[in-house]
Structure formats: structure tokens, C-alpha cells
């Protein structure tokens, strides 16, 4: 088969997959639960962006891969292979890989693992990523060494593939420790809290006011911490765009969806704008695509400006969250 024929066949497959795969929203723990979620309160139709995602992979040459199917195993023979999905935790890694590509010419391969189809629970995947969640990487050049958990992946990639510390810090420097602290804070705080805010305020079948105000409130508190950190800095650590920023970017880029009012956090907003100016960040957000994601702050703002019905739904959602806060006497405080 000629390269051109193969290319056109793959393109056709990609379109077929795009139309089929992303028919429901993401950030949903298990597909079997999703059918119960009430998506009418969402400021967009969950099915409205089904055609714009791609499950295509950056396929290394001479590989025979069925592009129409969900991944069933690794496809690369060399370099880094990223197993990901269009979520805040997935973006952390595609952003660093795009930065490494731009800075050092390091190529990588990615596969889209549809978490709504529970592909991340398949034995081949959990053999690489025991927690059954994306993201995960495999380093084919280092004996297929597999790494799971965003923080560990970012640090692994930085250790092995950022020799000039363009996006990281020498291991014995104080900045290394600072970056580690903020990345741990993201893993133990901002990510889980914002994830639960999404779950209870957006997706849960049962709307529990206590849980809604608890998680949206705690998320706001954490944004206050980040805002204070960024008051005197352009980036989270060491005056340069680093793994510490990457670990947070995907989450902050969808803060509005989670019920966070970005106007309360001007330093975070300026930092986000600064990061989004980087071409590699834009490319990272496009894996697996689309970019901007329908849940990003920018896409949501556009949707709400254009669609009065969705604006109405969003206003109702905000009113609901405010009522939950009032019911339990929640007041925003952040040191």
C-alpha cells in the first residue's frame, strides 16, 4: 500500500472515530454512571462537540494500526508513548512533551484512551498504569519503562529529557523543592477538589448542597492561594515556565466550568493568559483535541455569549451553587 493511500485511509478512519467516540462529556468517572447524569444544566450540549475530537495518534512510520478502534496496547517502537485523554491531567503531559519537542526536537507518540469507554480499566492499560486512570507514559528507549501519575511523569520526563533545565530545575536546587511542593499541592489539593466540584456540582445524579458548597468553596480557597503566589511572580516557580505551571494549567483553563469566578483571581488570570501564549501549550491542549476544549474558560465564554439558552442554564447553575453556599453559611476566605 502506498504512503498516500494509507494516509487517505487513516484520515477516513479518523473522521469515523471522531463522530462515534466522544458522544458524551468527559471527567466522568465511569461510563456506566454517565447515562444517569443530568447534562441539561450544562452550558453546552454534551453531544455538541462530538465531531471535533480526534482519536488519531501520531503514528510512527511502518506501523500497522487500526485507527478506528480504541487502543488495545502500545503502538510505538521507540521514544515516549503517551496514553491520554482531553482532560486537565492529560494536558499536563502533552504540554511538556510539546515543549520538549519544540526545545530539543524530541518526538513522541500519543494514543487517546477514551475514559468514557473504560479503556483505562483494561488489563493492558492497568499493567502500565495500576490506578486505571490517564495519563500514563511508556519510555520505549528505556526498556519500555512505564510511569503513571502526572507529577511522577512530569518529573521523569524532565529528569531524562530536559538536560538544560529549560522547564525544570536541578534536583539539589531549592527551586526543585519549590516546584515539587506546588506540584504536590496540585495533586493533593487543587486537582482533587476541583474534580469533586465538577462531579458534585455538574455531574452527580443527586444534587447534594453540602458537597457542592464544600468542593466549590474549597476550590475557590485554593485559587486564592495560587493568586497570592502569583502576585509577585510571572510563573509559579523560579521565574520561568516550568513543570510546576504545567501541572496546574489544565485545571485553571477550565475553572469557569467548575464554578470558579476567575474575576476573583486576577493574578491567576494573567498567569493563565501568559501560559496560553506559548505555542507548545496550545499544541499540548490540542492532544487529543479539539483546542480549545468545549469546557475551557475561553470556549465557555464564547458559548454563553452566543447562546441565550446555555447562558440561562449557566445562570441557573450559578444560582444553585450560590444557594448551596448560603444554606451552609459558606464565606470565601483564603490566606
Ligand X SMILES: N[C@@H](CCC(=O)N[C@@H](CS)C(=O)NCC(=O)O)C(=O)O
Based on CB atoms, which residue is closest to ligand X, 136 or 300?
Answer: 136
Q: Does 133 bind ligand X (CB under 6 A)?
A: yes
Smaller CB distance to ligand X: residue 137 or 299?
137
In this chain, which stretch among 6-14, 64-72, 85-93, 260-268 interacts with ligand X, using CB under 6 A? 85-93
The answer to whether 150 contacts ligand X (rule: CB under 6 A) is yes
Please select the residue that binds ligand X; options are 25, 43, 86, 135, rule is CB under 6 A.
135
d(CA 300, CA 48): 13
Judged by CB, which is closer to ligand X: 253, or 304? 253
Residue 289 backbone zone (phi > 0: left; psi -120 to 50: alpha; other: beta): left
Q: How many residues in the shown chain lie near ligand X by CB under 6 A?
A: 14
Q: Does 115 bind ligand X (CB under 6 A)?
A: yes
| Residue 71 interacting with ligand X (CB under 6 A) | no
Task: Note whether 82 binds ligand X by CB under 6 A.
Answer: no
Site for ligand X contains 29 (CB under 6 A): yes
Smaller CB separation from ligand X, 57 or 133: 133
Among residues 70, 107, 141, 149, the one that binds ligand X under rule CB under 6 A: 149
- The stretch among 33-41, 82-90, 104-112, 315-323 that binds ligand X (CB under 6 A) is 82-90
- Residue numbers of the site for ligand X (CB under 6 A)? 29, 87-89, 115, 120, 132-135, 149-150, 187, 191
Amino acid at each position: 500500500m502506498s504512503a498516500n493511500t494509507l494516509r487517505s485511509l487513516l484520515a477516513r478512519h479518523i473522521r469515523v472515530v471522531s463522530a462515534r467516540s466522544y458522544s458524551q462529556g468527559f471527567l466522568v468517572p465511569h461510563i456506566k454512571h454517565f447515562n444517569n447524569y443530568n447534562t441539561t444544566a450544562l452550558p453546552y450540549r454534551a453531544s455538541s462537540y462530538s465531531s471535533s475530537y480526534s482519536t488519531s495518534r501520531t503514528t510512527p512510520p511502518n506501523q500497522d494500526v487500526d485507527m478506528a478502534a480504541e487502543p488495545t496496547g502500545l503502538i510505538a517502537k521507540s521514544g515516549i508513548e503517551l496514553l491520554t485523554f482531553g482532560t486537565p491531567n492529560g494536558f499536563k503531559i502533552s504540554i511538556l512533551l510539546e515543549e520538549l519537542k519544540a526545545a530539543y526536537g524530541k518526538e513522541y507518540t500519543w494514543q487517546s484512551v477514551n475514559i468514557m469507554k473504560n479503556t483505562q480499566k483494561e488489563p493492558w492499560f492497568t499493567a502500565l498504569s495500576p490506578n486505571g486512570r490517564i495519563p500514563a507514559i511508556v519510555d520505549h528507549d528505556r526498556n519500555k519503562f512505564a510511569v503513571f501519575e502526572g507529577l511522577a511523569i512530569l518529573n521523569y520526563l524532565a529528569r531524562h529529557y530536559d538536560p538544560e533545565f529549560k522547564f525544570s530545575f536541578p534536583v539539589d536546587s531549592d527551586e526543585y523543592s519549590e516546584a515539587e511542593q506546588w506540584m504536590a499541592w496540585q495533586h493533593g489539593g487543587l486537582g482533587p477538589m476541583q474534580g469533586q466540584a465538577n462531579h458534585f456540582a455538574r455531574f452527580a445524579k443527586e444534587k447534594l448542597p453540602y458537597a457542592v458548597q464544600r468542593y466549590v468553596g474549597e476550590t475557590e480557597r485554593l485559587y486564592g492561594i495560587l493568586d497570592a503566589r502569583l502576585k509577585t511572580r510571572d510563573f509559579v516557580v523560579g521565574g520561568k515556565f516550568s513543570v510546576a505551571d504545567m501541572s496546574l494549567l489544565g485545571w485553571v483553563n477550565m475553572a469557569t466550568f467548575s464554578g470558579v469566578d476567575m474575576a476573583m483571581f486576577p493574578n491567576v488570570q494573567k498567569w493563565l493568559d501568559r501560559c496560553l501564549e506559548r505555542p507548545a501549550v496550545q499544541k499540548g491542549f490540542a492532544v487529543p483535541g479539539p483546542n480549545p476544549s468545549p469546557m475551557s474558560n475561553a470556549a465557555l465564554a464564547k458559548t454563553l455569549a452566543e447562546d441565550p439558552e446555555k447562558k440561562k442554564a449557566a445562570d441557573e447553575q450559578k444560582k444553585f451553587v450560590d444557594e448551596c453556599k448560603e444554606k451552609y453559611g459558606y464565606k470565601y476566605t483564603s490566606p
